[in-house]
Structure 1
Amino acid sequence: MARTAEAVIIGAGIMGCSIAYYLASRGVKDIVVLEQDQIARGATADAAGGIRLQFSTETNIRLAQVSLDVWENFPELFGTEIGLRQQGYLFLLTTEDEVQTFRANAALQQSLGVPVRWLDPAEIGALNPAVRVDDVLGATFCPRDGWADPYSATTGIARAARQLGVEIREETAATGFVIDSGRVRGVRAGDEVISTPLAIICAGPYSRGVGELAGVDIPILPYRRMSFITEPFDAVPASVPMTIEFRSGLYFHPESHGFLFGMANPDDPPGFNKTVDDEWMLRTVEALCARAPAFEEARVMRGWAGFYEITPDDNPLLGWIDEVEGLAVAAGFSGHGFMQGPAVGMCMAELITEGRATTVDISAFAPSRFREGRPSQEHNVI
């Protein structure tokens, strides 16, 4: 007998699993999630695990706040430890333009209840004594920010979704759609067609390609991001916050007994190249040592590459795709997907079952915004 479902979700990363869980929690029981690899083995697995409230747009701040409440209570909610370390995010600002932008950002964040504070250069050493501050004009710091393990978090949510009856099919790619009279009738998975009136694309950097299977353009491009981790190293205190040199995008934070660090290459073209560029690794190490000279004593243990899924305004696409009735998308998070996963799951479940999201108003991130000429630029992108 042909398989039918109330909803088919494409992608079992943090977004797909969160939406499946919250849909099932709202009474949508017949849900199938298709994952071409394994749960949390795509973009989620490559994420650095950052969690922060410091954004420049109200919608992102509110999504981050709702999600942080989940991350802080995750063991009680999902029975899984995710290694949450709330040591804060410290943004180092070295230009007047950055200072102006981040002062405005901090004012917005504070108005929404975020405990962010402005730091003068002399105050930075108390939080991170390793960094050089002679060129720093100011900084922002939020103590509730931090990082966690994306794999443990995503698999914990997936386990809870399965307990609610969600079927997650690993190593099963979506290969096409059945569309009739402008609406979704089914999703192809190999030779099988799953009949459904609802399909949700949560395929991260691969979402544009999935959209093409339905004849729609999803404006997302994949960009390589490389991360590296040092061998065990104690010359920098393990208590320091996630530290970001905003001008270059250099970041580092404690990880296990070493440090995880990285820096975006602005000259990297879009594409699915996951090789580690040794030359860029050396440039990243040089930038790290220039900002925090104690790292000259560290040794790189390994590196890997993943993808940012970037939209024209660095904000996600959340909601219905107008060209095809019954087709929705939750993708294009520009590096912020893991940290916002729970809130997006709640909001998409509300949109689908109630007609609008009530936990957070996500209408500013509707996929139609580019066609309608109302992009919503996020400035705080690393």
Structure 2
Amino acid sequence: MVPREANIVVIGGGVLGTSTAFHLAAAGHDRIVLLDRGPIAGGTTPFAAGQTSYLPSNERLLPFTSYCLDFFEQFEEKTGYAINFHQNGSLRVALSEQHVPGLHARMEMAKSIGDRAEWLTPQQAHDLVPGLDVSGAKGILLAPRDGFVEPRSVAASYAAGARDRGVTICTRTAVTGIDMADGAVRTVRTAAGNIQTRWVVLAAGAWTRQFSQQLGLNIRTVPVRHQAFVTAPLAGVTERQPVVRIVDTQVYARPEAGGLLVGGYGYRPLSFDMDAFPNRFEIPDLEADQIYYQQLTDAAVQNFPVLQDAGIIQERRGLPTMTPDGQYMVSEVDDIQGLVIVAGCQVGGIWSSPGLGRVAADIISGQESIPAAAFKANRFDEAYAHDAALRTQCEQVYAVHYWDMY
């Protein structure tokens, strides 16, 4: 059974929902219920790369990214639970002059916060990452405070911290609907009973648009397939080597259990309508696109020759949510009082989860600690109102994710 009443109901037990529940409880809210039809840290969360990216290309996002980084650096102090934040730094590599301005923009952001980002030579980059060959690179930026985490542990720790602060967590509890009265949320219906509430936070990942459509809303976010793979252990890979992002080919790589976790953007982007899947569909059921994997491997081998004959021990794929402008979506909606949307993770839900959870909690608390005007759900007006146009645009945003075009 679920509680019959709550002040706030959070729908979604992935990293965005658990972060929101934690931040709400930490802000002093009570009678919070977190619901998910599966376990905590399900959905796309466990298949993420878990990489941070604290230097944006524009200063508008700097307060948001700074909050996220500070939170990860103090995660145990804030939540009571430790995560293994491998703060190895990251290398952002421009192979052509076209993408060098993006590196300079990030260097300016580093200077503005007193960070010690550095320019590296190709040899210095190779010394840090022995399997990396970027001998013709036009620019290489080292962001020393970046790193990566095991994604499932982040959501699990948020949930544990939320539970310790009084949040009721109900897993294996499917939400069947949301009832309204006088333009406001009133009841969340679940397979285990109904919950009367004044606030609902919809953080259902790939299913967020599907849920919102049941309420008569047209939320401009869609899930887009993302794939990565993990290799068997490779000679020369060290657990302390930094994350590498090759801007031109949109490939990333980081150490994982002695091998490399490799992913990338722009390879056969494809969005999905979640209503087209069976009711019992879960993210692990997502069919692999082997052409995507081959194109990704071919691109990665150019700068990581060691991948040429690497054995693949795991394939990862998920359905992160994209928006038409490449910006997060955290806000109330115009037509329904008491409903907060948390979506549009932009294939960076783990990294952005502290900030997105904080913004959602701020909305319900009636305050603003992080500037979030750019995250409003109504920012598109009538643009992308038709499904085909929305999906095409979100696929395009995914296709140029590393190129600072949005």
Is TM > 0.5 for Structure 1 vs Structure 2? yes
Amino acid at match of 2:40: I
Q: 8 Å contact 2:7–2:198 — kept in the other structure?
A: yes
Q: Deviations over 1:103-126 (max 9, x none)?
A: 123313432344333334454333
Q: Deviations over 1:29-66 (max 9, x none)?
A: 11111112110111211111111202223343322221
**Does the C-alpha gap of structure 1 residues 300 and 266 become closer, same or farther in structure 2, counting only changes over 3 Å?**
closer
Output the CA distance in 1 between the equivalents of 2:243 and 2:213.
38
Q: 8 Å contact 1:334–1:381 — kept in the other structure?
A: no
Of the three residues 303, 307, 321, the one matched with 2:319 is 307
* Structure 1 match to 2:227: 226
* Structure 1 match to 2:180: 179
Output the CA distance in 1 between the equivalents of 2:62 and 2:110.
7
Q: TM-score if structure 1 supplies the norm length?
A: 0.91
Output the CA distance in 2 between the equivalents of 1:87 and 1:372.
43
Q: TM-score if structure 2 supplies the norm length?
A: 0.86
Q: Deviations over 1:177-222 (max 9, x none)?
A: 1112211112121373211111111112211111112211111111
Report SS of the residue matched to 1:126: helix
Q: Deviations over 1:93-146 (max 9, x none)?
A: 123221123312331343234433333445433333432224321122201000
* Structure 1 match to 2:99: 98
Displacement, 1:301? 1.0
Output the CA distance in 1 between the equivalents of 2:211 and 2:107.
37
The answer to whether structure 1 residue 370 and structure 2 residue 380 are counterparts is: yes
Displacement, 1:279? 2.9
**Does the C-alpha gap of structure 1 residues 381 and 62 become closer, same or farther in structure 2, counting only changes over 3 Å?**
farther
Amino acid at match of 1:356: Q
Report SS of the residue matched to 1:344: helix
Q: Deviations over 1:256-310 (max 9, x none)?
A: 1211111234423201682222333233222222212123342111212112210
Displacement, 1:239? 3.0
Output the CA distance in 2 between the equivalents of 1:57 and 1:172.
41
Output the CA distance in 2 between the equivalents of 1:73 and 1:27.
20
Output the CA distance in 1 between the equivalents of 2:329 and 2:115.
24
Displacement, 1:372? 8.7
Displacement, 1:160? 1.5
Root mean square deviation, CA, Å: 2.4
Report SS of the residue matched to 2:209: helix
**Does the C-alpha gap of structure 1 residues 4 and 237 become closer, same or farther in structure 2, counting only changes over 3 Å?**
closer
Output the CA distance in 1 between the equivalents of 2:343 and 2:44.
11
Output the CA distance in 2 between the equivalents of 1:335 and 1:77.
25
The answer to whether structure 1 residue 33 and structure 2 residue 44 are counterparts is: no
Amino acid at match of 2:61: N
* Structure 1 match to 2:310: 298
Report SS of the residue matched to 1:90: strand
Q: 8 Å contact 2:267–2:296 — kept in the other structure?
A: no
Report SS of the residue matched to 2:37: coil
**Does the C-alpha gap of structure 1 residues 114 and 92 become closer, same or farther in structure 2, counting only changes over 3 Å?**
same
Report SS of the residue matched to 1:291: coil
| Residues 130-139 or 307-316, more deviating | 130-139
The answer to whether structure 1 residue 281 and structure 2 residue 293 are counterparts is: yes
* Structure 1 match to 2:367: 356
Output the CA distance in 1 between the equivalents of 2:174 and 2:40.
12
Q: Deviations over 1:322-341 (max 9, x none)?
A: 11111111111101221121
Q: 8 Å contact 1:45–1:150 — kept in the other structure?
A: yes
Output the CA distance in 1 between the equivalents of 2:350 and 2:82.
16
Output the CA distance in 1 between the equivalents of 2:354 and 2:206.
19
Q: 8 Å contact 2:103–2:139 — kept in the other structure?
A: no
Output the CA distance in 2 between the equivalents of 1:368 and 1:234.
50
Amino acid at match of 1:43: T
Output the CA distance in 2 between the equivalents of 1:2 and 1:253.
43
Amino acid at match of 1:24: A
**Does the C-alpha gap of structure 1 residues 113 and 318 become closer, same or farther in structure 2, counting only changes over 3 Å?**
farther
Q: 8 Å contact 2:173–2:192 — kept in the other structure?
A: no
Q: Deviations over 1:328-375 (max 9, x none)?
A: 11111101221121232223212211x2321x11122111222298xx
**Does the C-alpha gap of structure 1 residues 77 and 95 become closer, same or farther in structure 2, counting only changes over 3 Å?**
same
Report SS of the residue matched to 1:184: strand
**Does the C-alpha gap of structure 1 residues 288 and 33 become closer, same or farther in structure 2, counting only changes over 3 Å?**
same
Unpaired stretches in structure 1, ≥5 consecutive residues: none
Amino acid at match of 1:287: A
Aligned residue-pair number: 377
